[in-house]
Amino acid sequence: MIRTRIAPSPTGTDIHIGNLYTAYLNWTLAKKHGGKFIVRIEDTDRTRRIEGSEEKILSTLNAFGLTPDESVEVGGKFGPYRQSERLDIYKKYSKILLDNGSAYLCTCSRTRLETVREDMKVNKQIPKYDKYCLSRQEAIKKEIENGKEHVVRLNVPEDEDVIFQDIIRGEVKINTGNLDDQVLMKSDGYPTYHLAVVIDDYLMKISHVIRAEEWISSTPKHILIYKAFGWELPKFAHVPILRNPDKSKLSKRKNPVWASWYLEQGFLPSAVLNYLALMGWSHPEGKEIFDADEFAEVFTLERIQPVGPVFDVKKLEWMNGQYIMKLEISNLKFLISNFYKDKNLDPNILEKSIPLVRERLKKLNEYLDIAGFLFEKPSSYEKDFSGEKELLKKVADKLESLESWKADEIGNLMQDFATSENIPFGKFFMMLRVVLSGKKITPPLNDSMEILGKEECIARIKNVI
């Protein structure tokens, strides 16, 4: 049984797009093999916790369709799925580590830790804890009985190679000499990430740990913990970190990173996911547009490349445009009216406008810019036609005479008119376009005029003469 998971921590305003990426991979692998996808909230850092973050992360995940099989919301038999509710479990397991000598108590003050590290840096050594407390465990127990604050540390062996197989990168080897005696239990009684992931991944029977590359260097610590418990290792796959254009780790300073931002811009969830699938991975047949079902069919972790792909919003926009073009009219209408729900767009006009805007939209938020003139009169004009008033009067009269208000008929009438007035089509229609819409760039004029209606068109012309 394949069981995958993502473990977001509620310390940001929303789920990070990079986490959405790993979520999609985890979700897809589980789906591909009929397994389970779990969302576990890693809220062990009480100081960085942000109110409402957990709810937002969960709702965004749902908005993208990456619904978990087990989570704080839907439950499951391996719960609780919030680490802050599993404190007893961590306490119990850290005791085991303490008892078998894999971990030890430490009462060093933060200032001492700092000075120790500073000294080591000065001596060009790797800054890490000096195991001072390891040799005085009995004394420490007394200190603790008297109420002294303490932590539990992992007793990392001095010089030992930790080797693990990464599905994407192959064998990775790190010597324990580079590892610090990681704190496992904090003085506030909460576990650190390193202890909690191992215990939870084990207890929740996670088969594949698929997470970002930034975790690769702490994986040996986790392996040491697995070994200390005598537990079997899950499979590891460290996926690429999404990058800013300058190649650094994708960050909010340089890029929009909250997943819901993309939704707010009018990107479609399916398009975003499709784009994400192409980060470090490519379809065996070279296809670029494919949905989640197809992705699940052909996806393999082995095909992921260990590179750091730059997140390119331009290509995402192109892809989003492709998805919008393929949408049914009714679907696109629904999406747009939902996107602009506070504007209460006239559903009739909206529906008629869809065929005109469908191949012009890259994002939903461009709709009003393109078709807004269909709903309200122009408030300004991108062109001056103070010298064309006589001409416009004739245009209004012509239109007045038209009985069948259809795009084709309107087009023919206007072409004939322009011809009889000896005005090049380009010039004439540009003038009419701006008069009616205020803009130089619009969807096809005749169709727009049909939607606007005879009265409205004439009124708009008269408005400028």
Partner RNA sequence: GGCCCCGUCGUCUAGCGGCCUAGGACGCCAGGUUCUCAUCCUGGAGAUCACGGGUUCAAAUCCCGUCGGGGUCACCA
Q: Which of residues 165-224 bind RNA (CB under 7 A)?
A: 169-175, 178, 180, 183, 186-188, 190, 192-194, 213-218
Alpha carbon of 390 to those of 103, 393, 462: distances in Å?
A: 92, 5, 11
Q: Which is nearer to RNA, 61 or 183 (CB)?
A: 183
Choose between 120 and 465: whose C-beta lies nearer to RNA.
Answer: 120
Q: Does 413 bind RNA (CB under 7 A)?
A: no
The binder of RNA chosen from 96, 139, 441, 459 (CB under 7 A): 441
**Contact, 105 vs 141, CB < 8 A?**
yes
280 touches RNA by CB under 7 A: yes
Residue 288 engages RNA in binding (rule: CB under 7 A): yes
Q: Which is nearer to RNA, 9 or 260 (CB)?
A: 9
Q: Give min distance, CB of 159 to RNA, in A.
A: 12
Kindly identify the residues of this chain, within the stretch 366-405, that bind RNA according to CB under 7 A: none
Q: Using CA atoms, how far apart are residues 457 and 400, in angstroms rounded to an integer?
A: 10
d(CA 273, CA 260): 13
The 3-state DSSP class for residue 232 equals: coil
- For residues 446-465, which are near RNA according to CB under 7 A? 446
* Contact string (CB under 7 A) for RNA, positions 108-137, x = contact: xxx--x---x------x-xxxx--------
Distance (Å, rounded) from C-alpha 461 to C-alpha 465? 7
Instruction: Determine the interface stretch with RNA among 138-146, 281-289, 332-340, 381-389 (rule: CB under 7 A).
Output: 281-289
Per-position x/- string for 311-350, each x denoting binding to RNA as judged by CB under 7 A, each - no binding: -x-xx-xx--x---x-------------------------
Taking CA atoms, 172 is separated from 161, 166, 191, 216, in Å, by 10, 7, 26, 9
| Size of site (CB under 7 A) for RNA | 88
How many Å apart are CA 329 and CA 286, to the nearest integer? 29
Angle among Cα 232, 234, 238 to the nearest 5 degrees reads 145
Which residues, numbered 245-274, are part of the site for RNA (CB under 7 A)? 245-249
What DSSP assignment string belongs to 370-407? HHGGGTS--SS-SS--GGGHHHHHHHHHHHHH--S--H
User: Taking CB under 7 A as the rule, does residue 96 contact RNA?
Assistant: no
Q: Are 207 and 34 in contact (CB under 8 A)?
A: no
| Contact flag: residue 352 with RNA (CB under 7 A) | no
CB of 34 to RNA, least distance (A): 25
Strands (E), 145-265: 151-154, 161-166, 170-175, 183-185, 208-212, 235-239
| Neighbouring C-beta atoms of residue 411, cutoff 10 Å | 17
CB 407 within 8 A of CB 352: no
State in angstroms the smallest separation of the CB of 344 from RNA: 26
Region of 229-237, 252-260, 386-394, 427-435 interacting with RNA (CB under 7 A) = 427-435
Cβ-based nearer residue to RNA, 80 or 127: 127
Which residue number, 326 or 462, has a Cβ lying nearer to RNA?
326
* DSSP β-ladder status, 151-154 and 103-106: antiparallel
Residue 235 annotated as catalytic: no
Structural tokens at position 385? 């036609």
Catalytic position from the list 92, 121, 142, 252: 252
Site for RNA in 56-95 (CB under 7 A): none
| 315 labelled binding-site residue | no
The residue from 240, 266, 269, 438 that contacts RNA (CB under 7 A) is 240
Phi, psi of 34 (to 5 degrees): 65, 30
Instruction: Write down the least CB distance from residue 205 to RNA, Å.
Output: 19
State the nearest-atom distance from the C-beta of 140 to RNA, in Å.
Answer: 12
Residue in 63, 307, 329, 459 binding RNA, rule: CB under 7 A: 307
Residue 381 pairs with which residues in a beta bridge?
none
* Cα→Cα distances 231→8, 156, 159, 223, 228, Å: 24, 17, 22, 9, 8
**Among all residues, which ones are annotated catalytic?**
252
Which residues are known binding-site members for ATP?
Answer: 252
Known binding positions: 252
